[in-house]
Amino acid sequence: MTHELDNRSLHLRKMVLDTLITAGRGHPGPALSLIEIMRVLYDDILDIRPSEPKWEDRDRCILSKGHGCLALYAILADKGFFPEDDLKTFCDFDSYLGGHPEYGKIPGVEASTGALGHGLSIGVGLALSSRIKNKDWRTFVIMGDGEINEGAVWEAAMAAGKHSLDGLTAIIDYNKLQSYGPTSDVLDLEPLADKWQSFGFNVVDVDGHDVAALRQAFGALPVGSGKPTAVICHTIKGKGIPVAEHNPMWHHKNKLKDDELASINAALGRN
């Protein structure tokens, strides 16, 4: 995962980090590992209408790892779901942009998430609804690797396999580092692809920072009829800010020191 970040990826990271700096808090590590996943979905894959966020036939995308919401807010603002200037209010007392996304308050947000482990269950319900209504919308659920320690994820996976929900895609942001340590130490997930396959999913492995590879993987969905798909995206927590990469201290920040601000600005090409 040595891909250099192009202007689009750098621009979205600037939006995330400027929001973090203005608010003085947020979850930069979990957001930065998501940027290319969110970018490809919203730029190239999802059938959505920013001017009509409740359009019934839209594709649904749920950020189940709600603490990574800075990446979601950046792409939604970039796409015009709400004014980009509103990012400056992130986590203000009276702002609608809270530390976790809320359905019904933020245009483009499909589920209130943050209590981890529930997004896939909601996604199963949406995918079943699409089938019952004879609609063609697709449902995408983005989960963190630490999040899938939660048993509810695997209950939902069993239901998705049982109902052959080929309109459902589970996306795992596999940065291998959760809030307080490596996933391999906290609760080892391997063999991760085999686990999803055993629950009735087709599985795709992809470099989660390779835009071309993500386009190819998401553009080929569903992988096969009669099964949901799990896309395991191998990522780097804190991607794009060297001091933050692979660093659990950047999972959440509530104060940025001068040297940390300097590292951010240097990585973004700002003096």
pLDDT tens for 170-197 read: 999 999 999 889 999 999 999 999 999 9
- Pairing type for strands 177-178 and 181-182 reads antiparallel
**DSSP of 187-232, one letter per residue?**
S---SHHHHHHHTT-EEEEEETT-HHHHHHHHHT-SSSTTS-EEEE
* pLDDT at residue 119 is higher than 60: yes
- The structure's pTM equals 0.97
Mean pLDDT of 37-42: 98
Cβ–Cβ contacts within 10 Å for residue 191, how many?
10
Give the pLDDT band (50/70/90) at residue 168. very high
**270 falls in which pLDDT band (50, 70, 90)?**
confident
Closest Cα to residue 146, out of 174, 166, 123, 167? Answer: 174
The domains of the chain, with CATH numbers, are: 7-267 (3.40.50.970)
**pLDDT by residue (tens digit) across 41-71?**
999 999 999 999 999 999 999 999 999 999 9
Instruction: Give pLDDT tens digits for 135-162.
Output: 999 999 999 999 999 999 999 999 999 9
